[in-house]
Chains A and B, each alone.
Chain A
Amino acid sequence: MTIDWRPTAEIDTLRERARLIGEVRAFFAERGVWEVETPVLGHGGSTDLHLASLSCEATTPAGRERLWLQTSPEFHMKRLLAAGSGPIFQIARSFRDGEVGRRHNLEFTMLEWYRPGLDLDGLIEETGALIRRVLPTDPGPTHRRRYRELFRETLALDPFTESLEALRRLAAEKGGLDMAEAPRDDCLDLLMSLAIEPGLGRDGLDVVVDYPASQAALARRHRDAEDGEWVASRFEVYRDGLELANGYDELTDGDEQRARFAEDNAARRAFGLPEVDVDQRLLAALAAGMPEGSGVALGLDRLIQLALGKASVAEVMAFATPSA
């Protein structure tokens, strides 16, 4: 048997990738956002119910310890913000167990940046500008799409008020699977993935806003001015049915953050998932005071995949996990 040692991407593609990453660095240099490097391994991991963290054992000055591979560079970067860094960006290797497919790879490159003092609208604008800088042709106008409106338009239902029974029925019908026990957010996630996402970003960039408050992750929540529903202050950017970026009006309240970590771990226990060590240093940094502002994580491999017209992220990675 011959062993396939060749890269998953063509060499010319990797050269193009290097050029595009150069563009990204120039974009931030022009805007006074400086590049940082933070550790891939930390003492705390992501408690997010839908992210599976990898961990390892290592010998450190403290002895034999369990360390977590980051699912994004968020925690360390927020500690820099709390220490007064000002606007920063990072091109960081991130790890998510089990995420393998055309749009996913176990380890991938996250472009993440933080803008103290900038609101979500300002960051949406900047994210669009970055994407336009990397894509070879202008993708067209940016459309803001409210989560609630997307569900109403596409599925004729209100994701906030529709009964759980009806959501389960529709999710089961669209996906051809048993959703009888599924929680509300799982039904919404499935409908979003199967019925809504594929149509997003077909005509310009679609920016989805006003997610249900239950899907806030590390974003603030606010009451919608129009309908009074609690929504998450976050956005996602789509192009050609592909989710490119996920931005937050960052939660800066350490107590609230502590409570959300605890909620996540409680949910993890309830679903039989392993608990994740909470990042105590992040909580301490938030308690000390992190400046208000917004931050966004962008899947750089996906953006490069789109820019170069490739069918999968593997085609723009030197060695996707199966051949690593």
Chain B
Amino acid sequence: MANYSTNEFKGGLKVMLDGDPCAIVENEFVKPGKGQAFNRVKLRNLMTGRVWERTFKSGESLEGADVLELEMEYLYNDGEMWYFMLTDGSFEQYPVEKKALGDTEKWLKEQVAYTVTLWNDNVINVTPPNFIELEVTETDPGLKGDTAQGGSKPATLSSGAVVRVPLFINQGEVLKVDTRSGEYVSRA
């Protein structure tokens, strides 16, 4: 991979730091009156999601990280690994470990496209679409007449996620949910 100098650090650039692939979040050039210039850099560690703040001497460089973000459909789980397939027509499949899947496990639905992050050809992260439609598999019976406001109850969705839904929602209904906040949006 190419090396990138501090003045090439732009939001989104993928670089290696302390052995982990990171994405540059922010880069600020700082220079006292007549002194050595530095760059204050915020980086998101793509393995852990944590944001690091580091200072570099201006002109220092980091090795680029071989990171790709690709769209893949979820296929199935064999009890150990989860399998995704490229949507580019190549039908190429990638196994994903539980660790890389993280919280996305509860938002999995077959044939939905996810953003899969590959580092050196291994999956390190899976991001669900912002909104996803899922069926309610379990919730208390709906309350007739209460269609607008007031109260909520937990509902378990087909993917395993539990979200707060309005009281009028019934088992078997398909809901639109925001995966970023884990909140109910509407009936689908």
Pick from B30, B35, B52: contact of A186, CB under 8 Å: B35
Q: Please tell me if the beta carbons of B7 and A100 are within 8 angstroms of each other in the complex.
A: yes
Q: Which of A58-100 contact B (CB under 8 A)?
A: 98-100
**Interchain CA distance A98-B29 in the complex, whole Å:** 10
Q: Please tell me if the beta carbons of B35 and A185 are within 8 angstroms of each other in the complex.
A: yes
Q: Which residue of B lies closest to A237 (CB)?
A: B33
Residue from A48, A101, A217 whose CB has the most chain B CB atoms within 10 Å:
A101
Q: Please tell me if the beta carbons of B55 and A246 are within 8 angstroms of each other in the complex.
A: no
Q: Please tell me if the beta carbons of B55 and A189 are within 8 angstroms of each other in the complex.
A: no
Q: Please tell me if the beta carbons of B37 and A236 are within 8 angstroms of each other in the complex.
A: no
Q: Which residue of A lies closest to B6 (CB)?
A: A98
- Quick one: given A99-B29, A102-B28, A104-B29, are A48 and B34 in contact (CB under 8 Å)? yes
Q: Please tell me if the beta carbons of A176 and B53 are within 8 angstroms of each other in the complex.
A: yes
- Quick one: given A99-B29, A99-B31, are A186 and B36 in contact (CB under 8 Å)? yes
Q: Which residue of B lies closest to A172 (CB)?
A: B55
Task: Pick the interface stretch among B56-64, B86-94, B171-179.
Answer: B56-64
- Quick one: given A177-B54, A197-B32, are A190 and B37 in contact (CB under 8 Å)? no
A215 within 8 A of B: yes
- Quick one: given A176-B53, A176-B54, A177-B56, are A103 and B36 in contact (CB under 8 Å)? no
Q: Beta-carbon contacts of A7-27 to B below 8 Å, as 1s and 0s?
A: 000000000000000000000
Q: Please tell me if the beta carbons of A193 and B32 are within 8 angstroms of each other in the complex.
A: yes
Q: Which of B31-85 contact A (CB under 8 A)?
A: 31-38, 40, 52-59
**Interchain CA distance A144-B31 in the complex, whole Å:** 21
Residue from B34, B36, B40, B55 whose CB has the most chain A CB atoms within 10 Å:
B34
Residue from B38, B40, B55, B56 whose CB has the most chain A CB atoms within 10 Å:
B55
Q: Contacts of A50 on B, CB cut-off 8 Å?
A: 31, 34-37
A194 within 8 A of B: yes
**Interchain CA distance A197-B28 in the complex, whole Å:** 14
Q: Please tell me if the beta carbons of A103 and B29 are within 8 angstroms of each other in the complex.
A: yes
Q: Please tell me if the beta carbons of B38 and A193 are within 8 angstroms of each other in the complex.
A: yes
- Quick one: given A175-B55, A177-B56, A177-B57, are A190 and B33 in contact (CB under 8 Å)? no
Q: Contacts of B33 on A, CB cut-off 8 Å?
A: 215, 236, 243, 246
Q: Please tell me if the beta carbons of A99 and B34 are within 8 angstroms of each other in the complex.
A: no
- Quick one: given A175-B55, A176-B54, are A217 and B32 in contact (CB under 8 Å)? no
Pick from B28, B31, B34, B55: contact of A177, CB under 8 Å: B55
**Interchain CA distance A100-B58 in the complex, whole Å:** 10
Q: Please tell me if the beta carbons of A190 and B34 are within 8 angstroms of each other in the complex.
A: no
Q: Contacts of B59 on A, CB cut-off 8 Å?
A: 98
**Interchain CA distance A188-B35 in the complex, whole Å:** 9
- Quick one: given A176-B54, A177-B56, A177-B57, are A194 and B35 in contact (CB under 8 Å)? no
A192 within 8 A of B: yes
Q: Please tell me if the beta carbons of A192 and B35 are within 8 angstroms of each other in the complex.
A: yes
**Interchain CA distance A51-B58 in the complex, whole Å:** 12
Q: Which residue of A lies closest to B5 (CB)?
A: A98
**Interchain CA distance A192-B38 in the complex, whole Å:** 11
Q: Beta-carbon contacts of A171-197 to B below 8 Å, as 1s and 0s?
A: 000111100000001101110111001
Q: Please tell me if the beta carbons of B28 and A101 are within 8 angstroms of each other in the complex.
A: yes
Q: Please tell me if the beta carbons of B36 and A194 are within 8 angstroms of each other in the complex.
A: no
Q: Contacts of A193 on B, CB cut-off 8 Å?
A: 30-32, 35, 38
Pick from B29, B34, B36, B40: contact of A100, CB under 8 Å: B29
Q: Beta-carbon contacts of A297-321 to B below 8 Å, as 1s and 0s?
A: 0000000000000000000000000
Q: Please tell me if the beta carbons of B54 and A215 are within 8 angstroms of each other in the complex.
A: no
Distance (whole angstroms) from the CB of B38 to the closest CB of chain A:
6
Distance (whole angstroms) from the CB of A46 to the closest CB of chain B:
10
Q: Please tell me if the beta carbons of A194 and B55 are within 8 angstroms of each other in the complex.
A: yes
8 nearest interchain CB pairs?
A: A101-B29, A189-B35, A175-B55, A189-B36, A186-B36, A192-B32, A193-B30, A176-B54
